[in-house]
A and B are shown apart, each in its own frame.
Chain A
Amino acid sequence: MKKRVKRNDLLIHAVLIVILALTLTPFVFLLNNSLRTNFELDHAFFGIPTALGKRDWNTLFQSYRDAWQVLRPHIVNTLFVATVTATGVTLLGSLTAFVFSRYRFPGHRLLFMYVISFMMIPGILTLVPSFLLVKSLGLLNSYWVLILPGIAGGQVFAIFLFKSFFDGLPGELFESARMDGASHLRQYVSLVLPLSKQILSVVIVTNVLGTWNSFLWPLVTNSDAKYQTVSAGLFSLGSSALSVNHANLFAAYSLSAIPMLILFLYATKPFMSGLTSGAFKA
C-alpha cells in the first residue's frame, strides 16, 4: 500500500511539473530575452545573453535601468492610488457592513438592497457614461478620477463580504460590549476589526490586485502620462521611444510584476486560507 502511494505521488509530481513548466515558460523566456539585444534576438531566439557570457554586468542590466527610468513614476502612481483606494474600500466597506449587520432602522432593508443591487450592473454598461460623468465633473487627468470611482465600485463587493462575515459573529459579543458602555464606533474599532483580519486581507489583496490590473479606465481617463498607472503605462510604452529595443519592453514587463510579488510574499498565507475558509465558496 505504502509503495503504491509513493508511485502514485511520483506520477503526479511528473504531470504537475510538466504543466507548471508550460505555465511558466513565457516568463522564463521573458526574463532571458529582457537581457538580450535586438541583434541577438533577431539572430537566435533561443540562447543566453551574450553579456552574461562575458560577465559584462553593466551591459547586461542596461535594459532594466532604461525601463526603470520610464516605469518608476507609473509604479509610484499605482502604489499611491492602490493604497488610498484599498484603505477607502476597507474602511467604508466594513463600516457600512457593520451598520447593516448590527442595527435595524427604518429603510434598513431597502438601503441594503440598493447597495447590493450594484453588483448586478456590469462594467461594460457604465464604462462610457462613467467617462462622460468624470469628464463633466472636470476630473480627467487627476488621481481623483482613479480613486473615487475605485472606492465607489470596490466597496460594494466588500460590503457584501464583510456583512456575511459580521452576520456570523455571535450577538452576545456585542451585547456584553454594549453593557460595558462601548459606543457604536468603539464596538466597530475594538471588537469587529480585530476579529476580521482574514477577511480584511482578502478584501485588501483583491482590491490592490484590481488597481494593479486595471487598465482601460486609467487609459481613457488619464491621457496625461503624469497620472498614468502601471498597466496603462505599459500599454503606452509599446509606441514610445523606449520600445526601440525589445529588451527594454521585456524588462518593463518583468519590473511591473515585482511590487505584486512582494505583496504576495507577505499576504499569500492569509489570502489563501481566506479563500479556502469561505469567502469564495458559494
Chain B
Amino acid sequence: MTSTLEAPAPAADLRPRPVRRGPRNGPLILLLLGPSMLLIAAFIVLPALYSVYLSMTNTQLTGFAARDPQFVGLDNFTYLLTNGDFLSSLGQTATFTLFSAIIGQTVLGMVAAILLSRPWLRGKGVFGAAVLLPMIVPEVVASLAWASVLSNNSEGTLNRLTSLFGADSTDWLQVAPLTAIIVVNIWRGVAFAMIMFQAALEDVPAELIEAARIDGARAVQVFRHVTLPLIRGPVFLYLLLTTISTVSVFGLVYFLTQGGPGGQTRIAAIYIYERALQFSQIGIGSAASIILLVIVLVLGMVYVRLAKVEV
C-alpha cells in the first residue's frame, strides 16, 4: 500500500473560539468550584500531606514507640528502597499491572469494542451485558465467585472443567497465584476498556475506513494504520486510568490470596496494608505509599507525553 492518508483536521480547530470570561465571573466560578475544592482539600490534599509527614517519622500504632514518634528524615525511604520484600512487591505490582491491565484488559477490551462495532454481529445486547457484568458486581462478590471457581477441591468450577479431561484437582491459588489474580483482574476490568474504546471507535470517520479499504488495505492494516492512530488519545487515557487503578488494587487480591502463598502475590497495596495496619508501622507504610504515588505520577506523565505525540 503506497497511498498515504491524511488525518482529518483536529476537531479543536473547527470549534468556535471560547469567549474570554471577565473578572466579574470570579465569584460564580468560586461558588461553583469552591465546594469541590474544599472537599478535595479536606479529604485528599490534607491527608496526602499528612502522609508525607508520617513517612518521615517512625510513627507506630502500638507499643511504647507509639507514644513518642520521632522525625527520622528519609530513613524510611532508604529502608524501603533497600528492602527485598518491598522491592519484590514493586516487581509483582509491575507484573500484575503489565499483564492484567496494560496487556490483558486493553487487548480484550479493544477486541470486544471492535466486535460490538461490527454491523453483522447479532446478540450485541447479550454480549455487551456479559462483558459489563463483572464491572458492576461488587468487589467482594467477585472475589468470592472467583474463590469458588478456583477452589482447590473437586467442587471448584475450574477443577470440574479440568476433570472432564481426566485431570486431578488442582489448587490454582497455590500453583499459579499471580496468574490467577491477573486473570481475575482482566475479567473485572475488561468492561471499562470496552466502553472507552467503543466510544472512541464511534468517532472514527467511516469514510477514512472506506477509503483505506478501497485502496486495498486488509482489516489488520486498516486497524493498524487508520483506526489506532485516530484513537490514540483515548487509548492512552485508558492506559493511564487503568494503570492507576490497577496499581492500587487491594480488595480483589486480599480476598483471594492475602498476598500469599509465600508472598507470591504481595503486590504493593498488600505490602502497605501489612506494614501500616497489621504490623502497625504507619511511618514505613506511609513512606511506601509515597513511593508508589511517585511511581504512578511518573507513569502518568509518560502516558500524557506519549498521548501528545503527533499521529
Query: Do A and B belong to a common assembly?
Result: no
